[in-house]
Structure 1
Amino acid sequence: MKALKPALLAIAGIGLLLLLLSFAIESLELIRWTALVVGLAAFSMHTENRIARAAVGTAVLAALVFFFTEIVSDTGIGRKNIDLTEDDRFTLTEGTKSILAELEDPVTINYYVTRDIEGASADIKRYIPRVDNFLEEISSLAKNENITLNFIDPQANTDEEDAAIVDEINITQVSETGRLFFGASISSLDKKKVIPFFNPEAETQLEYDIISAIAEVTVRNRPVIGLVTPLNISTGGQSRKGQAIYSELKNSRELADLGMSIVENLPTIYENNEWGDAPNYLDPERIPVVLVVHPAGITPEAEFALDQYLLRGGNVIACVDSLSLAAQQTAQQPQFPGMPPQGGTPTVSTLPRLFEKHGIVTSGPEVLFDPKFAADNPFFSVYNKEDMSIQDDITLASIQNLVFLAPGAFTSIEAKGLEVSRILKSSDRSGFVPDTRVKASFQNPQTLTKGLSSKDKGYDLVVRLSGEFETAFPDGNPADKKEDEEEKDSDDKKEEKTDGEETKEPKTETLKKGTATGNLILVADSDFIMDRVAYSYRQALTTQGVQLRAVPLSGNGPFLLNIVDQANNSAYLIGARARTPVMRPLTVFKDLEAEYEQTIGKKVKAIQEELDAANKKLSELVQKRAAEGRARFTAEETKFYFDAQKERAAKEKEMREEQKGLQSDIDAIKSGIFLKSLLIVPGLVIFVGIGVFIFRRMSTQAR
Structure 2
Amino acid sequence: MNRSTISVLALGLAAILFLSVNIFASNSLRSARLDLTENGLYTLSAGSKRILGEIPEPIRLRFYFSEKLAIQLPNIKSYGLRVRELLEEYVNLSGGKVHLEVIDPEPFTEAEDDAVRLGVQAVPLGTGDSIYFGLVATNTIDDRQVVPFFSREKEAFLEYDLTRMLFNLSDPKKPVVGLISGLQMNPDASPMMRFSGGPQPWAIIGAIRDTFALRTLNANQGIIPPGIDILLITHPLGLDEHALYAIDQFVLAGGRALVFVDPYSEVTARAQRGKGQQGAALASSTLDKLLNTWGVSVPTDHVIGDFDASQQVNAGQGGQTRVVRYLVWLQLAAGNLNPDDVVTADLGPLIMANAGTVKTLPDTGIKVTPLISTGTQAMAMETNLIRFGPAPDRLLKLFKPDGERHTIAARLSGNAKSAFPDGPPKDQNGKVAEKRKAAHMKDSSGPISVIVVADSDLLHDQFWLRKRNLMGQEMIVPIAANADFVVNALDNLSGSSDLIGLRSRGKSTRPFVVVETMRRAAEQKFLAEERKLKESLEESKKRIAELESRAQASGGGLLTPQQQHEIQSVRSQVSQTRKQLRDVQHNLNREIDGLESRLKFANVGLMPLAVALIAAVLALFGLRRRRRGADANAARS
Q: TM-score if structure 2 supplies the norm length?
A: 0.51
Tell me, in whole angstroms, the C-alpha distance in 1 between the residues paired with 2:81 and 2:230.
Answer: 39
| Alignment partner, residue 216 of structure 2 | 258
Corresponding position: 1:307 with 2:307: no
Tell me, in whole angstroms, the C-alpha distance in 2 between the residues paired with 1:255 and 1:211.
Answer: 22
Tell me, in whole angstroms, the C-alpha distance in 1 between the residues paired with 2:17 and 2:457.
Answer: 59
**Superposition pairs of residues 77-96 of structure 1, within 5 angstroms:** 80-85=34-39, 88=40, 90-96=42-48
1:423 to 368, 376, 384: 368
- The alpha-carbon deviation at position 209 of structure 1 amounts to 1.8
Tell me, in whole angstroms, the C-alpha distance in 2 between the residues paired with 1:319 and 1:121.
Answer: 45
Corresponding position: 1:432 with 2:380: yes
- The alpha-carbon deviation at position 305 of structure 1 amounts to 3.1
From the superposition, tell whether residues 578 and 257 of structure 1 become closer, same or farther in structure 2 (CA, over 3 Å). Answer: farther
CA contact (8 A) 1:233 1:246 kept: no
1:188 to 135, 139, 146: 139
Corresponding position: 1:127 with 2:76: no
**Superposition pairs of residues 239-318 of structure 1, within 5 angstroms:** 242=204, 246=208, 251=211, 255-258=213-216, 261-262=218-219, 281-283=222-224, 285-292=226-233, 294-296=234-236, 298-300=237-239, 304-311=242-249, 314=253, 315=255, 317=257
State the percentage of identical aligned residues. Answer: 17
- The letter for the 2-side match of 1:256 is L
- The alpha-carbon deviation at position 190 of structure 1 amounts to 0.3
1:411-445 deviation per Cα after TM superposition (whole angstroms, max 9, x unaligned): 69699xxx662525899x98512355799699999
| Alignment partner, residue 228 of structure 1 | 180
1:381-400 deviation per Cα after TM superposition (whole angstroms, max 9, x unaligned): 56798xxxxxxxxxx99999
1:352-406 deviation per Cα after TM superposition (whole angstroms, max 9, x unaligned): 7767999986421512469999999799756798xxxxxxxxxx99999999977
CA contact (8 A) 1:245 1:530 kept: no
SS in structure 2 at match of 1:363 = coil
SS in structure 2 at match of 1:175 = coil
1:573 to 499, 506, 521: 499
Tell me, in whole angstroms, the C-alpha distance in 1 between the residues paired with 2:79 and 2:344.
Answer: 23
1:216 to 141, 146, 168: 168
From the superposition, tell whether residues 400 and 186 of structure 1 become closer, same or farther in structure 2 (CA, over 3 Å). Answer: closer
SS in structure 2 at match of 1:172 = strand
- The alpha-carbon deviation at position 467 of structure 1 amounts to 2.9
SS in structure 2 at match of 1:157 = coil
SS in structure 1 at match of 2:86 = helix
Corresponding position: 1:467 with 2:417: yes
- The letter for the 1-side match of 2:228 is I
From the superposition, tell whether residues 580 and 98 of structure 1 become closer, same or farther in structure 2 (CA, over 3 Å). Answer: same
- The alpha-carbon deviation at position 242 of structure 1 amounts to 4.7
From the superposition, tell whether residues 81 and 558 of structure 1 become closer, same or farther in structure 2 (CA, over 3 Å). Answer: farther
- The alpha-carbon deviation at position 559 of structure 1 amounts to 7.4
From the superposition, tell whether residues 221 and 194 of structure 1 become closer, same or farther in structure 2 (CA, over 3 Å). Answer: closer
Corresponding position: 1:173 with 2:149: no
CA contact (8 A) 2:187 2:205 kept: yes
**Superposition pairs of residues 455-604 of structure 1, within 5 angstroms:** 466-470=416-420, 474=425, 476=427, 515-516=440-441, 517=443, 521=450, 523-526=452-455, 564-565=494-495, 570-576=496-502, 578-579=504-505
Corresponding position: 1:408 with 2:356: yes
- The letter for the 1-side match of 2:232 is L
SS in structure 2 at match of 1:467 = coil
Corresponding position: 1:451 with 2:400: yes
- The letter for the 2-side match of 1:211 is T
**Superposition pairs of residues 38-117 of structure 1, within 5 angstroms:** 68=22, 76=30, 80-85=34-39, 88=40, 90-117=42-69
Tell me, in whole angstroms, the C-alpha distance in 2 between the residues paired with 1:553 and 1:133.
Answer: 34
| Alignment partner, residue 154 of structure 2 | 202
Tell me, in whole angstroms, the C-alpha distance in 2 between the residues paired with 1:411 and 1:185.
Answer: 43
Tell me, in whole angstroms, the C-alpha distance in 2 between the residues paired with 1:462 and 1:440.
Answer: 31
From the superposition, tell whether residues 682 and 307 of structure 1 become closer, same or farther in structure 2 (CA, over 3 Å). Answer: farther
- The letter for the 2-side match of 1:156 is P
**Superposition pairs of residues 376-415 of structure 1, within 5 angstroms:** 381=336, 407-409=355-357
- The letter for the 1-side match of 2:366 is S
- The alpha-carbon deviation at position 244 of structure 1 amounts to 11
Aligned length: 458
Tell me, in whole angstroms, the C-alpha distance in 1 between the residues paired with 2:54 and 2:334.
Answer: 45
**Superposition pairs of residues 341-356 of structure 1, within 5 angstroms:** 348-351=284-287
- The letter for the 1-side match of 2:303 is V
From the superposition, tell whether residues 328 and 65 of structure 1 become closer, same or farther in structure 2 (CA, over 3 Å). Answer: farther
Tell me, in whole angstroms, the C-alpha distance in 1 between the residues paired with 2:16 and 2:393.
Answer: 69
Tell me, in whole angstroms, the C-alpha distance in 2 between the residues paired with 1:373 and 1:580.
Answer: 29
- The letter for the 2-side match of 1:466 is A
CA contact (8 A) 1:295 1:320 kept: yes
From the superposition, tell whether residues 242 and 383 of structure 1 become closer, same or farther in structure 2 (CA, over 3 Å). Answer: closer
Q: Which runs of 5+ in 2 are unaligned?
A: 189-201, 272-278, 311-329, 465-476, 508-594, 625-637
From the superposition, tell whether residues 680 and 413 of structure 1 become closer, same or farther in structure 2 (CA, over 3 Å). Answer: same
CA contact (8 A) 2:297 2:358 kept: yes
Please, which moves more after superposition, 157-166 or 64-73? 64-73
- The alpha-carbon deviation at position 93 of structure 1 amounts to 0.7
- The alpha-carbon deviation at position 219 of structure 1 amounts to 2.3
1:305-358 deviation per Cα after TM superposition (whole angstroms, max 9, x unaligned): 34334346554635344467xx6579989xxxxxxxxx9997643237767999
Tell me, in whole angstroms, the C-alpha distance in 2 between the residues paired with 1:196 and 1:381.
Answer: 27
1:243-301 deviation per Cα after TM superposition (whole angstroms, max 9, x unaligned): 99948xx64xx533326x457xxxxxxxxxxxxxxxx6534643254232x325x2336
CA contact (8 A) 1:224 1:255 kept: yes
- The alpha-carbon deviation at position 178 of structure 1 amounts to 1.6
Tell me, in whole angstroms, the C-alpha distance in 1 between the residues paired with 2:93 and 2:481.
Answer: 27
From the superposition, tell whether residues 205 and 281 of structure 1 become closer, same or farther in structure 2 (CA, over 3 Å). Answer: same
CA contact (8 A) 1:558 1:577 kept: no
- The alpha-carbon deviation at position 159 of structure 1 amounts to 2.0
SS in structure 2 at match of 1:466 = coil
- The alpha-carbon deviation at position 110 of structure 1 amounts to 1.6
- The alpha-carbon deviation at position 89 of structure 1 amounts to 5.1
- The alpha-carbon deviation at position 83 of structure 1 amounts to 1.9
From the superposition, tell whether residues 242 and 112 of structure 1 become closer, same or farther in structure 2 (CA, over 3 Å). Answer: farther
Corresponding position: 1:156 with 2:107: yes
Q: TM-score if structure 1 supplies the norm length?
A: 0.47
Tell me, in whole angstroms, the C-alpha distance in 1 between the residues paired with 2:23 and 2:411.
Answer: 51
